[in-house]
A and B are shown apart, each in its own frame.
Chain A
Amino acid sequence: MPDAKNSRLLSGREYVGVDKIDGPLIFIRKTHPVGYRELIECVDKDGHVRLGIVLESSTTAVVAQVFEGTSGLTLPGTRVRFSGEPLTLSVSKEMLGRVFDGLGRPIDGGPAQRSDVEQDVNGMAINPTSRQYPRDFVQTGISAIDGMNTLIRGQKLPIFSGNGLPHNELAAQIARQAKIRGTATEFAVVFAAMGVKHDVAQFFVRSFEESGVLDNVALFLSLADDPSIERLITPRTALTLAEHLAFTEDMHVLVIMTDMTNYCESLREISTIRGEIPSRKGYPGYLYSDLAELYERSGMIKGRKGSITLLPILTMPNDDISHPVPDLTGYITEGQIVFEREMDGRGIYPPVAGLPSLSRLMKDGIGEGMTREDHPHLASQLFAAYSYVKDVRNLASVIGEEELTPLDHNYLEFGKLFEQKFVSQRKDEDRSIEQTLDLGWEVLRTLPVEELHRVTDEEIEKYYGG
């Protein structure tokens, strides 16, 4: 039996035997100088190859993480090859219409993709001076988004959801309906699944199939029964393809990533095994930077036609928005669509919470020439009124509805209509922005005109009066 300590150099950079296995990590001592983040191939005793990368390298030992997990690996029987290169993905437009595993290897039975373009999956930081500020309005046909939390092409806008809430339905509906008005350009979709169940992946496939866009979708699946460690690389492979499509092939790409909470848990797992000092709830202190490395890969670039619009989905543990995963995500993304369980319970779809949801890029993409001139003020007025509704509801729950003033009753009525007519819609309902805005005015009419401080007299005359 080969002694791990006397690892024998095979083909220059191949070693037989590892010194320690701990969770997804392997430790190898006495190697040649190995580069940080170098790609490794780990060959188990059956000859099966697993990929991994170097997390730490020193004169005495190398620590690497194996994406496909270490189960079944033995100390003496494992061979490790160092590639001398970081993990790359071979990218091409032909990858659309295909299904891959989390590392970008086809799992749909089709041929392996061939391309001359090999990209480091970690990507590189976009120079802020090469960015183009995103400002094109994307009509999703969903009033709660288009009207109140407008999506902009090139934006990163996550859905903060909870277990059992219809985030997949909403993401699929957005993918189906998203369009730039007045153009024929379509979105290509890159879909990354991390730790979700098969039926979730199936749901998306079916939904893409039904709308006949499957040829325009690339799926990267690292599902619940795949090794959890693979999830760490899945969003990176997906984004690497997205970057190629957007910035080399001039395509508009919509990237859907679900469920980011699973991704973060895998990161925590590695961090714990490495004995790193945790910050909140056991998550590593670099969770923010790690997520930012992913999310900042979205956007638009000066002089390039394409764009990456990012729609990550995450489930808030215990519906707690202050949990590190949604919290740090909110600090990075350009707003968030927040789901409210209570609204879902009342049968409102999509259950988009009115107040905590926000689109930060909305301001430059709405108004005259983009959506309609009354949009900014109308949205602001709806927010203001709806926020007062929340106060009135709280008050009513203490003193009883009968005790409320007539004006407060108007507000309650407004709140009801806002949720049931404006926010609520069918899962296949595709509203134009005009329909959305008109609906907004319609529900505003439950309030007396003196209450409308945020819209102009002209807007009142044109839209409220009618």
Chain B
Amino acid sequence: MIDRIIGRVKRVNGPVIEVMGITDAEMFELVRVGEANLIGELIKLEKDSAIVQVYEDTTGIAPHDPVYGAGMQLSVELGPGMIGTIYDGIQRPLEAIRAISEIFIQRGISVPSLDRKKKWHFVPTARAGDRLAGGTILGTVQETPNLLHRILVPPTDQGVLESIVPEGDYTVEETIAVLKTDEGKTKDLFLMQRWPIRVQRPTSKRLPLETPLITGQRVIDALFPVAKGGTVSIPGGFGTGKTMTQQAVAKWCDADLIVYIGCGERGNEITDVLMEFPELIDPRTGRSLMERTILIANTSNMPVSAREASIYTGITMAEYFRDQGYHVAIMADSTSRWAEALRELSGRMEEMPAEEGFPAYLPTKIAEFYERAGSMEALCGRNGSVSIIGAVSPPGGDFSEPVTQHTKRFIRCFWALDRHLANARHYPAISWLDSYSEYLSGMTGWWEQEVGPQWFADRTEIMELLHREVRLQQVVKLVGPDALPDTQRFILEVCTLFKNAFLQQNAYDQIDAYSTVQKQAKMMHIIALYWQRGSEALKNGATLMQLKKMKVYQDIIKMKFSVPNDDLSGLDKIEARLERAMDQMEALHA
């Protein structure tokens, strides 16, 4: 199908190729380079020359090699069969590639993104004669037991449905419907459609962000929650827990679908997901987590340019499911590698660099990416959302570098990872002082409805203690803890307790790996209660030692491991025991 020569190689410099003798070629056109058929994209056009970014290793490409145009933009295939699949940065299925080239990824392999032979059971919902707008629903395919894949009219088409097939099994390439467009043309529709990755898919309107994306991670849900449709940045130096946090969110959050993009990171981390996700059970559906996950892996040793594309490949797939009325969460690990890919390509194109060698358009690109998140009314009338959780890997762990700084301008939730916490093995190492969420105020309504009004009061009280602790610690560092009165030392104790018993969460522990919001709220309440009653007791003459040596203290420390999510009665017991112990203490000093 690809045989139109659009030009010839003039110069090769890594993944960037200058092409000469361009006759007809379109911007962002998908191209093939040389006899090796390397996939590339035309990213700059100037008179009779062009620049092509090649998504595979260019070893051996020489001047005068032909460049072929595909006549379409770099696009993804959207339709049944994406879920549970692992793709590379330009949506080539890696399992299928392995079947061809075994251990290593050979160049020039071309495999369709969606299986061409597999038949899907399609149930039409639209009828011949219906007037259909772009993005409306033609019918459905039950892709997994929990996900009903809604087959949509491509957003750019509309017209009157001339015919539609009856319920039955079809491949993604068989015509399932024929649309008569307003211009009077007929157009075949399939289970599959294509969409260019660099173009946002259209929706009807943006909706306010008021529902949290529950992650099961206490420090996130309770202190720095993200909304469905929201944007989060997780910056942190190496080994501080970006990947672990994203994997935990991918595992336990209450999205309908996860798009996990491994962008320029480790191969073994992808293998880890591939090994673990199929085994893990989604607590909400009782099904394997892999049945709601799409993986994109462009690991650090895979070509740099495909790293740049992987982010767009991922978000386009996410938008497609959003358009069906689903809540999708994207994990992008790491957006810094994407930005560095931009920098490398820009450098090879000899563009003028701005800060630290990054191109001047870096902030625009970052903004464009995060703008594709949101809670939307889709063209089909249903509501769906795309949330983006992007890791940032600042050089030297220094947050003042350009990628962290620019990202901060375009996101509304910031989970700052702290080297000191990570070194002390306080996981997740999300700093309670540097992190923030601008979604909090919009979501208190949801929390009050789900777990009661106490939650917000408890949260406020504990956050205040954490901030007071900072000042007290400064004093301690100068004069030692003994210089503080018991009432103030108690603040330190409560904060330590809160960090150990609540904020720290062991991703490897069966029970602790995730907490329901009910469990979180109760745990937080118990600690708030310990603080309130404890301060009262101190005023009435109890000592700090007595408060710390209470038996129930050990129960509180271990409650995260001992009380399972599906039976919170253990927490009620601890609360009752705490009240009783405090009553006794009060009686003692009365």
Docked CA distance A355–B49 (Å): 54
Q: Do B267 and A36 touch (CB < 8 A)?
A: no
Docked CA distance A335–B423 (Å): 12
- In the complex, whether A289 has a CB less than 8 A from a CB of chain B is yes
Residues facing A in B293-339 (CB within 8 A) are: 297, 299-304, 337
Q: Do A131 and B267 touch (CB < 8 A)?
A: yes
Q: Which residues on the B side are within 8 Å of A293 (C-beta)?
A: 300-301
- In the complex, whether B18 has a CB less than 8 A from a CB of chain A is yes
Q: Chain B nearest CB: distance from A332 CB in Å?
A: 6
Q: Smallest CB-CB separation from A381: which chain B residue?
A: B425
Q: Do A33 and B302 touch (CB < 8 A)?
A: no
Q: Chain A nearest CB: distance from B340 CB in Å?
A: 6
Q: Smallest CB-CB separation from A361: which chain B residue?
A: B268
Q: Smallest CB-CB separation from B479: which chain A residue?
A: A399
Q: Smallest CB-CB separation from B12: which chain A residue?
A: A36
Q: Do A126 and B62 touch (CB < 8 A)?
A: no
Docked CA distance A133–B277 (Å): 13
Q: Identify which of A37, A126, A299 contacts B60 (C-beta below 8 A).
A: A37
Most buried by B among A35, A361, A404, A450: A35
Q: Which residues on the B side are within 8 Å of A404 (C-beta)?
A: 480
Residues facing B in A405-441 (CB within 8 A) are: 405
- In the complex, whether B287 has a CB less than 8 A from a CB of chain A is no
Q: Do A285 and B344 touch (CB < 8 A)?
A: yes
- In the complex, whether A453 has a CB less than 8 A from a CB of chain B is yes
Q: Do A296 and B340 touch (CB < 8 A)?
A: no
Residues facing B in A214-243 (CB within 8 A) are: none
- In the complex, whether A125 has a CB less than 8 A from a CB of chain B is yes
Q: Do A127 and B480 touch (CB < 8 A)?
A: no
Q: Chain A nearest CB: distance from B508 CB in Å?
A: 6
Residues facing A in B224-255 (CB within 8 A) are: 237-239
- In the complex, whether B154 has a CB less than 8 A from a CB of chain A is no
Docked CA distance A292–B265 (Å): 9
- In the complex, whether B395 has a CB less than 8 A from a CB of chain A is yes
Q: Which residues on the A side are within 8 Å of B106 (C-beta)?
A: 124
Q: Identify which of A86, A126, A286, A334 contacts B104 (C-beta below 8 A).
A: A126
Q: Identify which of B12, B239, B478, B482 contacts A58 (C-beta below 8 A).
A: B12
Q: Identify which of B239, B424, B481 contacts A330 (C-beta below 8 A).
A: B239
Q: How many cross-chain pairs have Cβ atoms below 8 Å apart between A and B?
A: 206
Q: Decide: A36 near B300, CB < 8 A? Known: A126-B267, A322-B396, A405-B481.
A: no
- In the complex, whether B441 has a CB less than 8 A from a CB of chain A is no
Q: Smallest CB-CB separation from A297: which chain B residue?
A: B301
Q: Identify which of B275, B395, B477 contacts A394 (C-beta below 8 A).
A: B477
Q: Do A288 and B337 touch (CB < 8 A)?
A: yes
Q: Chain A nearest CB: distance from B260 CB in Å?
A: 12
Residues facing B in A358-373 (CB within 8 A) are: 358, 360-361, 363
Q: Smallest CB-CB separation from A331: which chain B residue?
A: B238
Chain A 315-352 interface mask (CB, 8 Å, partner B; 1/0)? 00000001110011011101110000000000000000
Q: Identify which of B11, B98, B104, B274 contacts A125 (C-beta below 8 A).
A: B104
- In the complex, whether B270 has a CB less than 8 A from a CB of chain A is yes
Docked CA distance A387–B478 (Å): 19
Most buried by A among B58, B264, B344: B344
- In the complex, whether A383 has a CB less than 8 A from a CB of chain B is yes
Q: Chain B nearest CB: distance from A166 CB in Å?
A: 23
Q: Do A129 and B104 touch (CB < 8 A)?
A: no
Q: Do A57 and B12 touch (CB < 8 A)?
A: yes
- In the complex, whether A169 has a CB less than 8 A from a CB of chain B is no
Q: Which residues on the B side are within 8 Å of A405 (C-beta)?
A: 481-482
Q: Identify which of A129, A276, A304, A361 contacts B95 (C-beta below 8 A).
A: A129
Most buried by A among B18, B303, B340, B554: B340
Q: Identify which of A133, A277, A330, A388 contacts B357 (C-beta below 8 A).
A: A277
Docked CA distance A296–B299 (Å): 9
Q: Which residues on the A side are within 8 Å of B163 (C-beta)?
A: none
Q: Which residues on the A side are within 8 Å of B199 (C-beta)?
A: none
Q: Identify which of B239, B267, B340, B347 contacts A360 (C-beta below 8 A).
A: B239
Q: Do A288 and B423 touch (CB < 8 A)?
A: no
Q: Chain A nearest CB: distance from B417 CB in Å?
A: 13
- In the complex, whether A272 has a CB less than 8 A from a CB of chain B is no
Q: Which residues on the B side are within 8 Å of A129 (C-beta)?
A: 86, 94-95, 98, 271, 274
- In the complex, whether A356 has a CB less than 8 A from a CB of chain B is yes
Docked CA distance A57–B61 (Å): 9
Q: Decide: A128 near B20, CB < 8 A? Known: A33-B64, A398-B477.
A: no
- In the complex, whether B147 has a CB less than 8 A from a CB of chain A is no
Q: Do A322 and B397 touch (CB < 8 A)?
A: yes
Docked CA distance A389–B58 (Å): 53
Docked CA distance A34–B59 (Å): 11
Q: Which residues on the A side are within 8 Å of B65 (C-beta)?
A: 33
What interface size band does chain B fall in? 35 or more
Q: Decide: A56 near B13, CB < 8 A? Known: A129-B94, A277-B357.
A: yes
Docked CA distance A124–B101 (Å): 11
Residues facing A in B102-146 (CB within 8 A) are: 102-106
Q: Do B239 and A130 touch (CB < 8 A)?
A: no
- In the complex, whether A134 has a CB less than 8 A from a CB of chain B is yes
Q: Decide: A35 near B395, CB < 8 A? Known: A128-B299, A360-B239.
A: no
Q: Smallest CB-CB separation from B297: which chain A residue?
A: A128
Q: Which residues on the A side are within 8 Å of B63 (C-beta)?
A: 33-34, 57-59
- In the complex, whether B408 has a CB less than 8 A from a CB of chain A is no
Docked CA distance A122–B268 (Å): 20
Q: Chain B nearest CB: distance from A247 CB in Å?
A: 7
Docked CA distance A129–B60 (Å): 26
Q: Do B425 and A330 touch (CB < 8 A)?
A: no
Q: Do B104 and A128 touch (CB < 8 A)?
A: no
Docked CA distance A380–B18 (Å): 54
Docked CA distance A394–B423 (Å): 16
Chain B 346-357 interface mask (CB, 8 Å, partner A; 1/0)? 010000010011
Docked CA distance A299–B267 (Å): 9
Q: Identify which of B14, B20, B61, B301 contacts A126 (C-beta below 8 A).
A: B301
Q: Smallest CB-CB separation from B272: which chain A residue?
A: A133
Q: Decide: A127 near B94, CB < 8 A? Known: A247-B103, A280-B356, A296-B267.
A: yes
- In the complex, whether B97 has a CB less than 8 A from a CB of chain A is yes
Q: Do B482 and A403 touch (CB < 8 A)?
A: yes
- In the complex, whether B194 has a CB less than 8 A from a CB of chain A is no
- In the complex, whether B580 has a CB less than 8 A from a CB of chain A is no
- In the complex, whether A2 has a CB less than 8 A from a CB of chain B is no
Q: Decide: A285 near B340, CB < 8 A? Known: A35-B62, A361-B268, A394-B477.
A: yes
Q: Which residues on the B side are within 8 Å of A292 (C-beta)?
A: 264, 299-301
Q: Decide: A127 near B60, CB < 8 A? Known: A33-B65, A363-B508.
A: no
Q: Which residues on the B side are within 8 Å of A200 (C-beta)?
A: none
Docked CA distance A286–B15 (Å): 12
- In the complex, whether B150 has a CB less than 8 A from a CB of chain A is no
Q: Do B300 and A296 touch (CB < 8 A)?
A: yes
Q: Do A59 and B11 touch (CB < 8 A)?
A: yes
Q: Smallest CB-CB separation from A287: which chain B residue?
A: B340
Q: Do B98 and A37 touch (CB < 8 A)?
A: no
Q: Identify which of A56, A125, A334 contacts B299 (C-beta below 8 A).
A: A125
Q: Identify which of B393, B423, B558 contacts A355 (C-beta below 8 A).
A: B423
Smallest CB-CB A-B distances: 9 pairs:
A292-B300, A58-B11, A322-B396, A330-B238, A387-B424, A296-B301, A124-B104, A33-B62, A355-B423
Give me 19 A-to-B residue pairs in the complex whose CB atoms sit less than 8 angstroms apart, sorted by A's number. A36-B60, A36-B61, A56-B12, A57-B61, A124-B104, A125-B302, A126-B103, A126-B104, A126-B105, A128-B86, A131-B271, A280-B396, A299-B267, A327-B395, A332-B300, A334-B266, A335-B239, A399-B480, A405-B481
Which residues of A are in contact with B by a Cβ distance under 8 Å?
Answer: 33-38, 56-59, 86, 120, 122-134, 247, 276-280, 285-286, 288-289, 292-293, 296-297, 299, 301, 304, 322-324, 327-328, 330-332, 334-336, 355-356, 358, 360-361, 363, 376, 380, 383-384, 387-388, 394-395, 398-399, 403-405, 450, 453
Can you add 18 more A-B contacts, CB < 8 Å, to A57-B11, A128-B86, A129-B94? A36-B60, A124-B106, A126-B104, A128-B270, A130-B102, A277-B347, A278-B357, A280-B395, A286-B304, A289-B304, A293-B300, A323-B396, A324-B395, A327-B397, A332-B300, A358-B239, A363-B508, A405-B482
